[in-house]
Amino acid sequence: MIDTLLAAIHWNVRPEIFSIGSFELRYYTLCFLLAFVSSYVLMLRIFKRENKPQELLDQLSIYIFLGTLLGARLGHCLFYEFDYYKDHPLEMLLPFTYVNGEFKLTGFHGLASHGGAIGILAGIFLFCRKTKTDFLWITDRLVIVIPLAGAFVRVGNFFNSEIIGLPSDLPWAVVFEQVDQIPRHPAQLYEALSYVLIFILLWTIYHRKSFLKPGFIFGIFLILLFGARFGLEFVKENQEAFEEGMKFNMGQLLSIPFVALGVYFLFRPSRTIKK
């Protein structure tokens, strides 16, 4: 164990880039912003390629941004810490808490990717209903950039030393010194790499879309991304105590419906897209 500890990569980077009073700028926040900026830039290329107005993308971005934040926040509170937030409902949506007669800025440290996915789908639905845009046209293109955004978020989790992996003696094991002194799988980087590969695959498929049907890319995305999430949970520590003893943890259970939905869209009969 001592030899493994010495051979492991030691990670002790503070999650804050800088702080002024109670305000902190974290690497996680920067990664979250990079996720949205990179998604917007790539989606703008897609919209221009298909002669869609940038104004339409700007409207969509607002729906996606709000859907992601609200969905991810509520998903964490309801799926992972319901026992606490049922007694503190305002803290679900407010970035501060009231302790010992004082307000303390907390930010939104609890965000759940499955909740974010639900929020994004809800945002797309509302956007499409308002703008009369085809739902599958949007999803087939938006899901191309979502894995890249997810990769940025997981890098942010790495900087936060959160969502850590199980103990490991592999040569690339990481000791998250702000957590403990145990070499662990860098599960956040596994997931980030998986998402980058999914992004590359979907981007390639999109540029050969002449043989695809509506919902095809959406289906592949759901199967690959949530399938990867399901598999990688086996090398992660459970996020909450209630998951101990469960055959599949909450992240895996929440991934199953998304994979099933992906199978449906991938194999459902539909006319092909004409170039």
Q: What pLDDT, in 10s, does the model give residues 227-269? A: 999 999 999 998 777 778 888 888 899 999 999 999 999 988 7
Residues contacting 215, CB < 8 A, separation 6+? 136, 139, 140, 265, 266, 268, 270
Closest C-alpha among 131, 127, 145 to residue 45: 145
The pLDDT score that the predictor gives to residue 84 is 73
For residues 105 and 81, what is the distance between their CA atoms, to the nearest angstrom? 19
The pLDDT score that the predictor gives to residue 59 is 94
CA distances from 227 to 88, 140, 262, 265 (A): 33, 18, 10, 15
Q: Give the CA dihedral 236, 226, 160, 155, nearest 10 degrees.
A: 120
For residues 40 and 251, what is the distance between their CA atoms, to the nearest angstrom? 27
* 3-state SS string for the chain: CHHHHHHCEEECCCCEEEEECCEEEEHHHHHHHHHHHHHHHHHHHHHHHCCCCHHHHHHHHHHHHHHHHHHHHHHHHHHCCHHHHCCCHHHHCCCEEEECCEEEECCCCCCCHHHHHHHHHHHHHHHHHHHCCCHHHHHHHHHHHHHHHHHHHHHHHHHCCCCCECECCCCCCEEECCCCCCEECCHHHHHHHHHHHHHHHHHHHHCCHHHCCCCHHHHHHHHHHHHHHHHHHHHECCCCHHHCCCCCCHHHHHHHHHHHHHHHHHHCCCCCCCC
Closest C-alpha among 83, 84, 86, 40 to residue 64: 40
248, with CB counted inside 10 A (0-12, 13-18, 19+), is middle
Alpha carbons within 13 angstroms on the beta-carbon side of residue 118 total 16
The pLDDT score that the predictor gives to residue 274 is 45
Taking every pair of Cα atoms in the chain, the longest distance, rounded to a whole number of angstroms, is 64
Structure tokens at 63: 């729906």
The pLDDT score that the predictor gives to residue 273 is 46
* pTM metric for this prediction: 0.85
Structure tokens at 224: 């690959």
Low-confidence ranges of the chain (pLDDT < 70): 1-7, 21-23, 88, 90-91, 95-110, 210-211, 270-275
The pLDDT score that the predictor gives to residue 211 is 60
The pLDDT score that the predictor gives to residue 112 is 77
For residues 17 and 34, what is the distance between their CA atoms, to the nearest angstrom? 15
Q: How many CB atoms lie under 10 A from the CB of residue 121? A: 17
